[in-house]
Chains A and B, each alone.
Chain A
Amino acid sequence: MKMNGAKIMLECLKKEGVDTVFGYPGGTVINLYDALFDFKEIRHILPRHEQAGTHAADGYARATGRVGVAIATSGPGATNTVTGIATAYMDSIPMVIITGQVPTALIGNDAFQEVDIIGITRPCTKHSFLIRDVKDIALTMKKAFYIARSGRPGPVLVDFPKDVQMAQGEFHYPETVDIRGYKPNLSGHPRQVEKAMAMILDSRRPVMYVGGGAVLGDAAEPVTLLARKLSLPVTTTLMGLGSFPESDDLSLGMLGMHGAYCANMAMTHSDLIIAIGARFDDRVTGKLSTFAPHAKIIHIDVDPTSIKKNVRVDLPIVGDVKDVLTKMIQQADKSNGKISEFVAALSPWHDDISGWKEKHPLSYKQSSTIIKPQFVIQKLRELSDEDAIISTDVGQHQMWTAQFFKFNKPRTLLTSGGLGTMGFGLPSAMGAQAAFPNRQVITICGDGGIQMNIQEMATLVQNRLPVKIVILNNNFLGMVRQWQELFFDKRYSSTCMELPIDYIKLADAYGAKGFLASKPGDVESVIKQGFEEKGPVIMEFKIAREEKVLPMVPAGASLNEMVLNA
């Protein structure tokens, strides 16, 4: 059956199992939108800004593990997606972004609303395609989805000129795809796995260091199994939170710049670091020359370019983390005889760790007059559903969430770790809520970042997406203010927000509900009221304005040189 290119594109999305797309119409996608008008199998959600649409597709992908899809028109629509694409790229999130493009005959002519979006996004996409012929749509989309989700996932951009959308063609979706230059190596080498197990059994101060790759690779289960089987302490990165239950005694919590004292001390004193889907980012290692000076390093990652990028590695294992960990567990089963002896030998190490945990647990000074942000986070954990999905914006509130919420399940924390994109919180929650209409979705934002995509309140209300928006309002760009306090002599250059905003009225203007807590006694009741509402809600907490995120490893310092209370 003949149909136009726009319809073929939608048939491709359907074949890929796409049920929701986030997009914004315009001249060069008007044909695509015309086809969408009666294409009932795909739900289209109209954000109020293409950046937010892209973050929503990203949030959808983070929460579900499936490929998120965003659509934008050419020119300004396409450039508005760039921050969203870069955010997804830095955190390896599978996404397909379809941008309209001027007709092929006009490309390169500075036509109205033409930009070279492929060129602009080249450094922040896993790959990109320009479709020049209606006959190429199906194979291109098959490749785009395959590339986005396989190996180390990432965003793929498909530029879709208007004349190709209008051209008539046949729809045949290929069953399989073979890209000769792209064969991700998924299966961990058995000999490397054997060596890894031998190194672990030889170690006396081992630490598992788990990153976002474990979440993306759906490896939380084998991470947990392996850790418990061998009694290995586990620390996670910001992106790895949820891959190992923080309620477990073996959990050290998050490490790095704002990590737990015990986690950073354990890394510094370790004799063996087992890195799983993590990339030794500078926020995690602190000063490289003094990072984990006594440790051998086993590095498991699906992406060979992550290995040995920042630190020396004694044993690299390239492969899908789930595959490798599953093999390691089998290997451990074979060495069962030695395990009890090994675990017994770890007891001094576990004692050291307990000592560090007791010496400096994550803590804050409670107040009876003013709301402490950490207290709000703890209350949110206490009062929210066990499987609630939390997204955050970027800043102090993000770090307090990471420190105090206590994540026990993968894909329950959606946060921009790599790029640190303010404005991510609300739209990513919107994407997660579209994927899971019946789960509690909460976004925790600062008063700065919430303004960056506040327009999405309208999308929430219109689409009945009952996201619970928490604003920790310190009337400051708090994270920058903290740096100014500590390192710039309290010269608060452009970090005070000055103008107070009435968030209750703002919620009201969008047709949502707003609640305000100004003293500690209000916190619980505001959260309860907010959670009881059927629709989207803003819960504003006026928090201690100059509260700092602690502990903190100053930029360039060693992991064990933490500022504990300043």
Chain B
Amino acid sequence: MQHTISVIVENDFGVLSRVATLFSGRGFNIESLSVAPTNEDGLSRMTIVTRGDAQILEQINKQLNKLIDVLKVLDFSDGSAIERELALIKVSAEDDARAEVLRVVDIFRAKIIDVTPKSYTIEATGNPLKIDAILDLLRPLGLKEVVRTGSVAIGRGAKGWNG
């Protein structure tokens, strides 16, 4: 099963490897990971998407909580969060294909951010499933390069992570 968890951490050196070690030490693959500073001083937020047994994930959550540099672990496995991802997609597009690319971009409310006679570069955001879908449609046209940020997630409702 897929799980999305957010981890609020001190922005210290070594935090990333401590967190990563917890996953690798249990043979859990991290499918995506994004890290960036938050609005609070000295704090960063990691969003981790992983797959695995719920019981092991509960252990990992506890172990994450135990790390000195971790302030909070938010488990969004229950779908209680809004998830978004950004992708930059370079697709080859010549002749007839150019119109097809533009149609797909339009349907997905994506943006063209770079153009050459032979290619388009597209910026797409949305739920990771939506990114998968646009990639599926563009693939037959010739994907040249894809960069995905990995999910970021935020809880629904008025409350922030610390109330």
Q: Which A residues fall within an 8 A CB radius of B? A: 118-119, 122-123, 126-128, 130, 147, 179-182, 303-305, 308-309
Contacts and interface: CB of A to CB of B under 8 A. Distances in A.
B10 interface: yes
Contacts of A305: 59, 62-63, 65-66
Contacts of B25: 123
A71 B14 CA distance: 22
Nearest to B65: A304
Contacts of B68: 126-127, 147, 179, 181-182
Given A122-B21, A123-B21, A181-B70, A128 B14 contact: yes
Contacts of A127: 68
Interface in B6-37: 9-10, 13-14, 17-18, 21, 25
Given A180-B71, A181-B67, A181-B71, A118 B62 contact: no
A308 B62 CA distance: 11
B69 interface: yes
B145 to A, nearest CB: 31
Contacts of B18: 122
Contacts of A180: 10, 71
A184 to B, nearest CB: 9
Contact of B14 (A118, A181, A309): A118
A130 B14 CA distance: 10
A-side interface mostly: mixed
15 contacts: A119-B17, A123-B25, A127-B68, A128-B14, A130-B13, A147-B68, A180-B71, A181-B9, A181-B10, A181-B68, A181-B71, A304-B62, A304-B66, A305-B65, A309-B59
B139 to A, nearest CB: 40
Contacts of A303: 66
A446 to B, nearest CB: 31
Contacts of A119: 17
Interface size class of B (residues with CB under 8 A): 10 to 19
A128 B68 CA distance: 10
Nearest to A119: B17
A127 B17 CA distance: 12
A-B pairs with lowest CB-CB distance, top 7:
A305-B62, A181-B71, A127-B68, A182-B68, A181-B70, A181-B69, A305-B63
Contacts of B70: 181
Contacts of B17: 119, 122
A182 B66 CA distance: 8
Given A119-B17, A130-B14, A182-B68, 17 more contacts: A122-B18, A122-B21, A123-B21, A123-B25, A126-B68, A180-B10, A180-B71, A181-B10, A181-B68, A181-B69, A181-B71, A304-B62, A304-B66, A305-B62, A305-B65, A308-B58, A309-B59
Interface string B69-80: 111000000000
A72 B37 CA distance: 36
A419 to B, nearest CB: 16
A178 to B, nearest CB: 12
A309 B67 CA distance: 17
A370 to B, nearest CB: 47
B64 to A, nearest CB: 10
Nearest to A156: B68
Contacts of A130: 13-14
A302 to B, nearest CB: 11
A129 to B, nearest CB: 9
A362 B96 CA distance: 87
A127 B69 CA distance: 9
A308 B10 CA distance: 28
A128 B15 CA distance: 11
Contacts of B65: 304-305
Contacts of B21: 122-123
A123 B24 CA distance: 11
Contacts of B13: 130
Contacts of B9: 181
A46 to B, nearest CB: 31
A309 to B, nearest CB: 6
Nearest to B13: A130
Contacts of A126: 68
Nearest to B22: A123
Contacts of B63: 305
A386 B14 CA distance: 47
A181 B71 CA distance: 4
A518 to B, nearest CB: 48
Q: Identify the interface centre among A119, A182, A303, A308: most chain B CB within 10 Å of its CB.
A: A182
A500 B132 CA distance: 70
A364 B21 CA distance: 46
Nearest to B60: A305
A153 to B, nearest CB: 13
A182 B14 CA distance: 16
Contacts of B62: 304-305
Q: Identify the interface centre among B13, B65, B66: most chain A CB within 10 Å of its CB.
A: B66
B92 to A, nearest CB: 41
Contacts of B66: 303-305
A334 B145 CA distance: 71
A126 B67 CA distance: 8
A76 to B, nearest CB: 23
Nearest to A183: B71
Contacts of A179: 68
B6 to A, nearest CB: 14
Nearest to B69: A181
B114 to A, nearest CB: 36
A123 B68 CA distance: 13
Interface string B35-61: 000000000000000000000001100
A147 B66 CA distance: 11
A551 to B, nearest CB: 32
Contacts of B14: 118, 122, 128, 130
Nearest to B40: A180
Nearest to A130: B13
A265 B132 CA distance: 56
A122 B65 CA distance: 16
A263 B53 CA distance: 34
Contacts of A304: 62, 65-66
A128 B69 CA distance: 11
Interface string B121-135: 000000000000000
